[in-house]
């Protein structure tokens, strides 16, 4: 089994600046990948004979945004979105975390969803998981075969797991709050 540092050196060597960062000291160490290199990196992780990350466990979207300006001034991070991929390998029983850091809105135009290439061609699990992240967090997965809402109704407005989301007052005559 290779150490975290050796693994990081190896994929940095392979993909260069597509690997934008890493945190090996975290409880679940993670590697940050640039969106444009994501599919390539995922295929590599899945197909290398000694890595074989053949199972995608989970895709989660996390919105880093503090609506309260007083609290936001004290934070040590800028507003952004993260898409987190938890992978594991059945043969080696090792798990890995990938992160893609995105702006909250594409080009800072509110309403324009940030884009990540879809990995549903690498693992089919991603199909529904990406639909869920699109539905609740508001990330567009380019190249996804059928990107539509999955948990909320099709005509729902907004992305509920965004931190600045406001519950609608009314939906088809049903009182919201």
Partner 1 sequence: MTTQLDDPRIIEFDVRTDEMLVNMGPQHPSTHGVLRLVLRTDGEVVSEVTPHIGYLHRCAEKIGENLTPRQWIPYTDRMDYLAGMNMNLGWALTVEKLLGFELPEKARHLRVLIVELNRIASHLVGMGAYGLDLGTFSPFLYAFREREKILDLFEEVCGARLTYSYITVGGATADLPPGWLQKCESFIDQLEPVIDEYHALLTSNAIFVRRTANIGVLSPEMAIDYGCTGPVLRGSGVDRDLRRDGEQRYTEMYDGYAFEVIVQKDGHYPKDHKYPKVPASTVLGDCWHRFYVRMLEVMQSMDLVRQAIDRYSMATGPFGEPVKLNEKLPKGEAYMETEAPRGQMGFYIVSTGSAIPWRARARSSSFCNLSVTHELCRGCLIADVPAIVGSLDIVMGEIDR
Kindly state the smallest distance separating residue 152's Cβ from partner 1, in Å: 6
Positions in 21-80 near partner 1 (CB under 8 A): 26-28, 54-58, 60, 62-64, 75
How many angstroms from the chain centroid is the CA of residue 22? 15
Give, in order, the Cα–Cα distances in Å from 163 to each of 24, 56, 88, 175.
Answer: 28, 26, 29, 22
For partner 1, the closer of residues 14 and 128 by Cβ is: 128
CB 102 to partner 1: min, Å? 15
C-beta separation of 114 from 139 below 8 A: yes
153 sits near partner 1 (criterion: CB under 8 A) = yes
Options 90, 142, 168, 171; binder of partner 1; rule CB under 8 A = 90
> Alpha helices, DSSP H only, in 96-150?
125-136
Token pair in block for residue 141 = 């997965």
Which one of residues 4, 35, 103, 160 is an interface residue with partner 1 (CB under 8 A)? 160
Give the Cα separation of 66 and 112 in Å (integer).
Answer: 19
What count of Cα atoms within 13 Å lies in the side-chain half-sphere of residue 117? 15
151 binds partner 1 (CB under 8 A): yes
- Which range, of 3-11, 14-22, 92-100, 109-117, touches partner 1 by CB under 8 A? 92-100
Give me the residues paired with residue 97 across strands.
30, 86
| Cβ atoms within 10 Å of 52's Cβ, excluding its own | 15
CA distance 62 to 158: 15
In terms of CB distance, is 9 or 28 closer to partner 1? 28
Site for partner 1 in 105-144 (CB under 8 A): 123-125, 127-128, 136
Q: Which of 17, 70, 93, 174 binds partner 1 (CB under 8 A)?
A: 93
Residues that bind partner 1 (CB under 8 A): 26-28, 54-58, 60, 62-64, 75, 84, 86, 90, 93, 95, 97, 123-125, 127-128, 136, 149-153, 160-161
């Amino acid at each position: 089994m290779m150490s975290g540092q050796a693994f990081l050196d190896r994929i940095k060597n392979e993909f260069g600046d597509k690997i934008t960062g890493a945190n090996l000291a975290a409880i679940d160490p993670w590697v940050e990948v640039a969106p444009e290199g994501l599919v390539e990196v995922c295929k590599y992780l899945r197909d290398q004979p000694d890595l074989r990350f053949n199972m995608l466990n989970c895709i989660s979207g996390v919105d880093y945004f503090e609506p309260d300006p007083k609290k936001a001034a004290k934070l040590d991070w800028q507003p952004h979105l993260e898409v987190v991929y938890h992978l594991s390998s059945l043969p080696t029983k090792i798990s890995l975390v990938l992160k893609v850091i995105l702006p909250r809105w594409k080009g800072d135009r509110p309403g324009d969803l940030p884009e990540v290439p879809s990995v549903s061609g690498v693992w089919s699990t991603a199909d529904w998981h990406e639909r869920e992240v699109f539905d609740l967090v508001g990330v567009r997965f380019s190249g996804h075969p059928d990107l539509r809402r999955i948990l909320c109704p099709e005509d729902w407005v907004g992305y509920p797991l965004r931190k600045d989301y406001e519950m609608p007052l009314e939906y088809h005559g049903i009182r919201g709050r």
